[in-house]
């Protein structure tokens, strides 16, 4: 990428074209950089490329995306320092979701510290097999309760089979804001499984990212088979609890940043203009408040 100044980046993002009278916000990207000051976790399988905030800002500017939520990438595991440095450099453009160790009894206090540093939310990633059964364990209720106390969202990356475990935790904390990533990656060839996610619609503070149509689909763009999952979530949750996302740069293994936006804005014909205002912007602002 050519050398460009921070002032230019900030100015470009601040005045990027907006969609139909509202600011488009991307609630799910990752950043990382090969930098000895911020070492990756032992054993991490990190691509040779960097995914820097400057590259991200160029993409935002090119496609009219005004603000972005950055999710702590697994490459650093529970060391959130690189993302913290990015949030400090670009406070108007980004919000951050941290990771904490779900097997650490001190995780709730660690989340409190990270919130004081500017993070807004935490992400958990329980696997679908026995290695992810900690989500049913005694360390979860205190961490989820701390999210509620701090008024930050719990963001969950988990396969569809884990949604009943999420529901069990919400039974005790129905007021907690929970965001389910990527439609719980429900396989398109097992559509009945989506009911496990739809069952969470009874909790009014559960939100769903309608992302990963591109990785779930078995068809070319615009991934109509995966759009069928989105239609069912739209009927169950309504647009005010759905949000799009690019999952940049992960999407580049399958497609492109611009198609992640276009498939929602232009190809999901069942979404009306007001629906799109929610899915591309309003719903995200319900969860992550950006400074003016």
What is the distance, to the nearest Å, from the Cα of residue 178 to the centroid of all Cα atoms in its chain?
11
Mean pLDDT (whole number) for 151-173: 98
Mean pLDDT throughout 135-141?
98
For all residues of the chain together, what is the average pLDDT?
Answer: 94
- What mean pLDDT is predicted for residues 162-188? 98
Q: Which residues pair with 25 in a beta bridge?
A: 67
- Cα dihedral 201→26→145→127 (10° resolution): 80
Give me the mean pLDDT over the 121-139 stretch.
98
Q: What is the mean pLDDT of residues 256-279?
A: 98
Conformation bin of residue 123: beta by default, left when phi > 0, alpha when psi is -120 to 50: beta
Task: State how far Cα 82 lies from the chain centre.
Answer: 18
Q: According to the model, what pLDDT value does residue 65 have? A: 98
Q: Domain 6-287 classified CATH 3.30.565.10?
A: no
More confident residue, 14 or 156: 156
pLDDT tier at 20 (50, 70, 90 boundaries)? Answer: low
Task: Mark residue 223 as left, alpha or beta (left: phi above 0; alpha: psi -120 to 50; beta: remaining).
Answer: left
Q: For the chain, give the number of residues.
A: 292
Of 10-19, 42-51, 89-98, 177-186, where does mean pLDDT reach its minimum? 10-19
Q: DSSP letters of 99-154?
A: E--TT-TTHHHHHHHHHHTT---EEE---SSGGGGGGGSTTHHHHHHHHHHHT--E
Q: Where are the domains of the chain?
A: 6-287
Question: Can you give the pTM of this predicted structure?
Answer: 0.92
Average pLDDT over residues 38-58: 97
Residue 7 banded pLDDT, cuts 50, 70, 90: very low
Tell me: pLDDT of 229 over 60: yes
Would you call 261 exposed, middle or buried from its count of C-beta atoms within 10 A (0-12, 13-18, 19+)? buried
């Amino acid at each position: 990428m050519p050398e460009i100044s921070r002032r230019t980046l900030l100015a470009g993002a601040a005045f990027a074209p907006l969609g139909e009278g509202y600011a488009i916000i991307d609630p799910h990207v990752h950043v990382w950089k090969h930098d000895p000051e911020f070492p990756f976790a032992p054993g991490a399988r990190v691509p040779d490329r960097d995914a820097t905030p400057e590259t991200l800002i160029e993409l935002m500017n090119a496609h009219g995306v005004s603000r972005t939520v950055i999710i702590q990438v697994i490459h650093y595991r529970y060391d959130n320092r690189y993302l913290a440095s990015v949030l400090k450099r670009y406070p108007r453009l980004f919000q951050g979701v941290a990771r904490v160790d779900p097997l650490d009894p001190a995780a709730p206090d660690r989340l409190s510290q990270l919130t004081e540093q500017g993070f807004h939310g935490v992400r958990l990633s329980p696997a679908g097999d026995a290695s992810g059964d900690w989500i049913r364990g005694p360390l979860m209720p205190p961490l989820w309760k701390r999210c509620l106390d701090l008024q930050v969202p719990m963001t969950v990356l988990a396969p569809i089979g884990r949604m009943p475990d999420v529901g069990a935790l919400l039974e005790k904390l129905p007021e907690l804001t929970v965001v389910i990533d990527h439609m719980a990656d429900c396989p398109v060839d097992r559509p009945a499984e989506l009911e496990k996610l739809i069952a969470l619609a009874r909790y009014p503070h559960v939100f769903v990212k309608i992302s990963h149509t591109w990785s779930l689909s078995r068809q070319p763009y615009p991934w109509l088979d995966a759009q069928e999952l989105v239609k069912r979530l739209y009927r169950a949750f309504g647009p005010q609890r759905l949000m799009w996302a690019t999952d940049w740069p992960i999407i580049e293994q399958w497609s492109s940043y611009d198609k992640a936006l276009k498939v929602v804005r232009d190809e999901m014909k069942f979404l009306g203009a007001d629906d799109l205002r929610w899915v591309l912007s309003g719903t995200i602002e319900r969860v992550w408040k950006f400074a003016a």
